[in-house]
Amino acid sequence: MSFTNTPASNSSRPADDQAPEQDWSEIMLPPQISTFGGTGLQLFQYLQDWAASHHYALVIARSEKQPKSNDYHTMTFRCDRGPKVKESVAKSMQSTSRKVECPFEIRAGYSKIHMCWTIRYICNKHSNHPPSDNPSSHSVLRRLNPLEKDRVYHLQEAGVQPREVHAILRNERPDSKASMDTIYNANFANSRELLGNKTPFEALVNFCKDENFTYKTQTDSSGNLTGFIFAHPESLALFKHYHYVLIMDSTYKTNAFNWLLFHVVSQTPFGSNFTIYLCFIKTETIPQFTWILTQIKQIMLQLGCSPPCAIVTDRDLALTAAMDNVFSSTP
């Protein structure tokens, strides 16, 4: 299917008693092409680059793919400030919209005979909004391309913080419009993809299994998870030799579930610290701490370690009581 290049006529002239709308047509020019050779995505990128350089942005409103092919057959492009979202959808999303019913619209059809796209302008003028001051004001222009997504994924996997990821991306690709929110959203999407259909704790358990971590879980009478403790094999290898001093404390606000992260650390003769155990717990209670210290004591017995000579912690009464129950011989 193909289209001919027939730009639509301008809207009728306003009545004498109405103030004419400001004309931005000299700034927000439509793409000056009638045919294009390439894929559908290449066509969209070309139109988008043109739009961004003329202070507006486009979105793919509709598209149809060719039979038995991954490429497109027809595509409709609109101004990103075009038709508004349906009221029922907007209410469910609980968000506002930048859309102002801008009528700008382009349709393109691919001709197999001529091996190119034919462009038709349904409406070649913008209305109801001025040109944008900055390309980054358009969310569609802030999206990451496949190469940027892959880069962000590997940086996130390496433990690079979002602010640093954003700086690296802007340094490598000065033309990138990605914002900090773009990076956060990409990280969230990557994490959700890695989880699949599993909950975060199910994914953590699977990770510990795959990486040969030592771990234990604690559940209540209803079978709900109340504690999860895990240790890296190399941490336990160090712990076997340097088990004389234990340092323990809880860290708050580390996850979205408001669970506490209980951290158990030891020290080498060279003055360096190393993590022995990490534990997620729901509450700081005597039974909860007793369970954690019991797991540590059992591992020490398996490794052939003597009881610690000293335990360093803050003055948490529940933890102190649990220490007296489990490590009664330690001062």
65-80 pLDDT, tens digit per residue, is 877 777 788 999 999 8
- pLDDT of 106 > 80? The answer is yes
**Beta carbons of 244 and 268 less than 8 angstroms apart:** no
- Identify whether 251 is part of a domain: yes
Are 66 and 151 within one domain?
Answer: no
- Identify whether 87 is part of a domain: yes
Looking at the structure of the chain, the number of domains it has is 3
User: Averaged over 178-187, what is the pLDDT?
Assistant: 90
Nearest to 243, CA basis, from 231, 252, 226 = 231
What residues contact residue 253 under an 8 Å CB cut-off, 6+ apart? none
Are 3 and 127 within one domain?
Answer: yes
- Identify whether 15 is part of a domain: no
Are 41 and 117 within one domain?
Answer: yes
Are 191 and 242 within one domain?
Answer: no
- pLDDT of 2 > 70? The answer is no
The total of other beta-carbon atoms located within 10 Å of residue 219's CB is 11
- 202 against 248, higher pLDDT: 248
Are 216 and 241 within one domain?
Answer: yes
**pLDDT > 90: percent of the chain:** 40
Are 183 and 232 within one domain?
Answer: no
Are 54 and 113 within one domain?
Answer: yes
Domain-terminating residue out of 90, 113, 135: 135
Q: Of 2-6, 100-104, 219-223, give the lowest mean pLDDT range.
A: 2-6
Predicted pLDDT of residue 105? 93
Are 103 and 220 within one domain?
Answer: no
- Identify whether 67 is part of a domain: yes
- Identify whether 59 is part of a domain: yes
Are 113 and 91 within one domain?
Answer: yes
Are 96 and 188 within one domain?
Answer: no
The total of other beta-carbon atoms located within 10 Å of residue 88's CB is 8
Confidence of residue 91 (pLDDT cuts 50, 70, 90): low
pTM: 0.57
- Identify whether 16 is part of a domain: no
User: Averaged over 269-286, what is the pLDDT?
Assistant: 92
Are 52 and 129 within one domain?
Answer: yes
**Beta carbons of 178 and 142 less than 8 angstroms apart:** yes
Domain-terminating residue out of 170, 196, 222: 196
- Identify whether 63 is part of a domain: yes
Are 97 and 149 within one domain?
Answer: no
- What's the pLDDT tens digit per position in 188-242? 888 888 888 888 888 888 889 999 999 999 988 888 888 999 999 999 999 999 9
Name the percent of the chain in helix, strand, coil, to the closest 5.
35, 20, 45
- Identify whether 221 is part of a domain: yes
Retrieve residue 172's tokens.
């490598």
Burial class (CB in 10 A: 0-12, 13-18, 19+), 5: exposed
Predicted pLDDT of residue 22? 65
Domain that holds residue 182: 142-196
Domain-terminating residue out of 175, 196, 217: 196
